[in-house]
């Protein structure tokens, strides 16, 4: 036996086992206290963004309604999407999905929203801001607004929204407050009176303040609506599907459990049926899973149920890749070739069929990605990443480790290779 080769294999197994433990196992409290970096970055799977079907959220389809005041045009739909994007950004949602469907519909998916009903309501509010004099004349609108930010006064604790006007709006506001000292100036949002303060003196700084909010969250919502501007067209909710966090967690738990059971079944089958090559394939599959996980985290992808299905399907394809190659190796061993020669020839002949099979699957995944949308695209991306990773592990890692086994003379009997 060649102990140098055996030592290399031992080091590889220990490194893979250690990396798998770091990737999946929770960090012990004692380790987290001593090394804060580990608590922040491990296990790696916690950095994966989860879709709304795994952590809860809302899927809503809006439809623009044609009115004489605001007809539906391509420009108005583009402006509608821009306003909705600004409002969604204000919610602080990670990886939101906002896309146009057809000529009049907009699909929005928000994951991790704690109050989906309120989120949908805030998205479609008109947010039309008006400043009216005490005889009801509108003298300023949201079009004169440059920015709106919520704040809490440190001393009194009062919550308000601070408004900053455009240069033209600031000039208007200075003139109006100068001409109406001692009178009231009503502030209306969507036709509802928010505040009706008395103008004590001219305000020439181009800034104003709306007070009277019960919480900072309420003021934040109003500030987001004012910053994003009014909707350019009338919008109705055509379809809404809400997934609660409990249901999302249940889906995630069942999916992870199914994946673990399936993976264990594959590992056992490969080890029992293909013996030494099966053990090598199992090691390569663990490396494959970590590669896919690392790529997905690096791409900042969002994992959904179809994405998990794509990962599990690609895992099956990775196993199939190894099976094709191992069957070719068995045929070479049965023909009387040596172990090292059988491994080299088996890979050379089997890899052609493997590449052909994976290429056709990649083509199908590409069609799904370019013709589908949303979760279908997520499935296609995860499947494609898995296929490419399985090809890499089969062509490089599995081949190299089998050659290492053959060169070490640790196992010589062909029956331990399934022949």
Which portions of the chain are predicted below pLDDT 70? Answer: 1, 22-47, 94-95, 126-127, 228-230, 244-248, 373-374, 418-419
Predicted pLDDT of residue 248? 64
**Tally of residues, the chain:** 419
Predicted pLDDT of residue 35? 58
Helices (H) and strands (E) in the chain, counts: 14, 13
Give yes or no for a contact between 325 and 394, defined as CB atoms under 8 angstroms apart.
yes
Predicted pLDDT of residue 363? 92
Predicted pLDDT of residue 411? 73
Predicted pLDDT of residue 46? 64
Predicted pLDDT of residue 13? 78
For residue 384, which of 313, 281, 287, 305 has the smallest C-alpha distance? 313
Can you say how many angstroms the Cα of residue 159 is from the centroid of all Cα atoms in its chain?
Answer: 33
| Angle at alpha carbon of residue 397, lines to 396 and 399, rounded to 5° | 70
Predicted pLDDT of residue 358? 86
Q: What span, in angstroms and rounded, lies between the C-alpha atoms of 242 and 61?
A: 12
Predicted pLDDT of residue 193? 82
For residue 97, which of 87, 89, 107 has the smallest C-alpha distance? 107
Edge-to-edge strand list for the sheet holding 145-152: 145-152, 159-165, 207-211
Tell me: the pLDDT tens digits for 126-180?
667 788 888 888 888 877 888 888 888 888 788 888 888 888 889 988 998 898 8
């Amino acid at each position: 036996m060649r102990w140098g080769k055996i030592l290399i294999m031992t080091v590889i197994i220990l490194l893979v086992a250690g990396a798998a433990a770091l990737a999946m196992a929770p960090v012990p409290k004692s380790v987290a206290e001593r090394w804060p970096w580990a608590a922040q970055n491990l296990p790696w799977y916690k950095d994966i963004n989860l879709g709304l079907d795994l952590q809860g959220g809302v899927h809503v389809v809006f439809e623009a309604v044609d009115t004489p005041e605001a007809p539906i045009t391509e420009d108005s739909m583009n402006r509608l999407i821009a306003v909705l994007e600004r409002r969604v950004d204000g919610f602080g949602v990670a990886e939101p999905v906002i896309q146009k469907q057809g000529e009049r519909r907009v699909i929005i998916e928000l994951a991790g929203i704690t109050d989906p009903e309120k989120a949908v309501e805030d998205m479609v509010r008109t947010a039309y801001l008006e400043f009216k004099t005490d005889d009801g004349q509108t003298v300023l609108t949201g079009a004169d607004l440059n920015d709106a930010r919520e704040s809490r006064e440190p001393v009194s604790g009062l919550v308000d929204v601070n408004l900053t006007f455009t240069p033209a709006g600031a000039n208007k506001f200075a003139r109006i407050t100068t001409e109406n000292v001692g009178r009231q100036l009503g502030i209306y949002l969507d036709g509802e009176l928010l505040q009706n303060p008395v103008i004590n003196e001219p305000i020439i700084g181009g800034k104003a303040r709306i007070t009277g909010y019960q919480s900072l969250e309420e003021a934040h919502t109003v500030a987001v609506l004012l910053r994003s501007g009014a909707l350019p067209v009338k919008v109705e909710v055509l379809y809404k599907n809400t997934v609660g966090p409990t249901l999302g967690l249940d889906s995630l738990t069942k999916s992870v459990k199914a994946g673990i059971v399936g993976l264990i079944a594959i590992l056992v089958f490969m080890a029992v049926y293909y013996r030494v090559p099966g053990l090598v394939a199992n090691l390569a599959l663990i490396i494959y899973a970590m590669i896919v996980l690392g790529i997905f985290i690096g791409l900042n992808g969002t994992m959904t149920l179809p994405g998990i299905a794509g990962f599990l399907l690609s895992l099956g394809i990775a196993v199939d890749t190894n099976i094709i190659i191992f069957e070719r190796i068995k045929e070479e061993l049965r023909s009387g070739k040596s172990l090292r020669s059988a491994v080299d020839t088996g890979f050379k002949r089997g890899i052609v069929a493997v590449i052909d099979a994976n290429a056709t699957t990649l083509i199908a995944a590409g069609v799904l990605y370019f013709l589908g949308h949303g979760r279908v695209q997520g499935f296609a991306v995860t499947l494609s990443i898995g296929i490419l990773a399985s090809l890499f592990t089969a062509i490089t890692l599995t081949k190299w480790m089998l050659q290492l086994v053959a060169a070490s003379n640790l196992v010589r009997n062909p029956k331990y290779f399934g022949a």
